[in-house]
């Protein structure tokens, strides 16, 4: 499978299309070993203090669970130490702790 070079008038090419084209070229160069793409290293803590995160945003357990689509019983068990959130949930909780409004906006969309 090759990359086609489509000649279209510049009036018809959108910013999104140009961005996608550039991204495809970067990926191809990376696959061929001609380019090194930037990477990020994400480190999640093994332990998360869910109660502290909830208290910091000033919500009751019921409000927090409802706002962030978390089962209330699961939230209680995390806070009481009977269960621990998995890695994906720890990442989600880290985002809530850092920028609660962004998460609420995203969930409302």
pLDDT band at 12 (very low <50, low <70, confident <90, very high): confident
* CATH code for the structural domain at 50-108: 1.10.260.40
Task: For residue range 23-70, list pLDDT tens digits in order.
Answer: 999 999 999 999 988 888 888 888 899 999 999 989 999 999 999 999
**pLDDT value for 67:** 96
Mutual angle of helices 100-108 and 87-98, in 10-degree steps = 110
Mean pLDDT, the chain, integer: 89
The domain segmentation of the chain, as residue ranges, is 1-38, 50-108
CB 51 within 8 A of CB 85: no
């Amino acid at each position: 499978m090759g990359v086609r070079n489509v000649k279209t008038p510049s009036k018809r090419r959108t910013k999104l299309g140009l961005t996608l084209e550039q991204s495809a070229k970067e990926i191809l160069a990376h696959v061929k070993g001609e380019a090194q793409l930037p990477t990020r290293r994400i480190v999640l803590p093994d332990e998360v203090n869910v109660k502290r995160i909830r208290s910091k945003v000033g919500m009751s357990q019921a409000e927090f669970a409802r706002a962030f689509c978390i089962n209330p019983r699961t939230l209680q068990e995390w806070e009481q130490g009977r269960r621990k959130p998995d890695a994906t949930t720890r990442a989600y909780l880290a985002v809530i702790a850092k920028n609660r409004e962004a998460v609420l906006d995203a969930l409302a969309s």
